Amino acid sequence: MRSSAAGLNREGEGPSRCRINFTMTRVLKTQPQEYQFFRKVAFLKFGVSWIRTFTKAKESKEIEMASSIVTPIQTRMSDYDVLGHINNVSYVNFLEVARLHAFSEVMCVDLRTHSGITAKTEIEYLRPAKFGIPIAVVMKVDAVTEKSVTVAMEVVNAKDHSRVFARASIVQVSFDLRTGKTCAHPGQLREQLEALMNGVADFVKVA
């Protein structure tokens, strides 16, 4: 009986070992193919990722050399009149928001030490902007002197910049908050303003 029992155990274990060995052999045989498959998948993913990175780099390179700064505007209900159009007064606020964004966030001016005083503002209202139209402000530089800069600004449809609602010209004078006096543009700021005026601004380096 022991012999029989042992035999049964061996018989019971035998098929189990065979199944295990067969499974292990199958895994070992298929692993290289699966490995190759995963290598191909990884390579494809890497290729797609590289292409996307290259495309984004190309797009950012095209954006680097800029002649204008575009600022999206978040409108509020208080910006609209009873006819559902943007109130003329709100355009001045849009221009201020856009200038603040351009100088502090894009050109990285330290507003704790330097600021800009508005010396002159001229606005031409071209057409009404109705409720629901996305708004943006496009800023360009027309002229740069030792202390002042003249910027041309347009309030436009954010999805179609050819749709201009208002056009403005603003003269801004650099101001040193530490001395409380007007001053020459900081060196880096003047370089950026002139580059922007000439259409070769590189804001990626600044950021």
Written as one string, the DSSP assignment of 77-139 is GGGB-TTSBB-HHHHHHHHHHHHHIIIIIIS---TTTEEEEEEEEEEEE-S--BTT--EEEEE
Number of other residues whose CB lies within 10 A of the CB of residue 205 = 8
How far apart CA 128 and CA 87 sit, in angstroms, is 9
In angstroms, the Cα distances linking 179 to 138, 157, 182, 201 are 32, 40, 8, 29
Q: What is the pLDDT of residue 66?
A: 82
- Rounded-to-integer distance, Cα 86 and Cα 207, Å: 33
Q: Which two tokens stand for residue 111?
A: 């507003």
pLDDT score recorded for residue 126:
97
pTM: 0.66
What does the pLDDT read at residue 55?
Answer: 45
What is residue 187's predicted lDDT score, i.e. its pLDDT?
86
What residues have CB less than 8 Å from 1, skipping those under 6 apart? none
Backbone dihedral angles phi then psi of residue 168, each to the nearest 5 degrees: -135, 155
| Amino acid 207: pLDDT | 32
Report the distance separating Cα 86 and Cα 92, nearest Å. 11
Q: Give Cα separations from 46 to 29, 41, 87, 97 (angstroms).
A: 27, 8, 51, 41
Provide the terminal-to-terminal Cα distance of the chain, rounded to the nearest Å.
Answer: 86
Joined together, the tokens standing for residue 186 give 């900081």
CB neighbourhood size of 194 (10 A) = 15
Element (H, E) at 179: none
pLDDT of residue 89: 94
List the pLDDT tens digit at each of the 207 positions of the chain. 444 444 444 444 444 444 434 344 344 444 555 555 555 545 454 444 444 444 444 443 344 468 999 999 999 999 999 999 999 999 999 999 999 999 999 999 998 999 999 999 999 999 999 999 999 999 999 999 999 999 999 999 999 999 999 999 999 999 999 999 999 999 889 999 999 999 988 764 333
The CA distance from 38 to 84, in Å, is 58
What b-and-e string marks burial along 41-63, b requiring 16 or more CB atoms within 10 Å of the CB?
eeeeeeeeeeeeeeeeeeeeeee
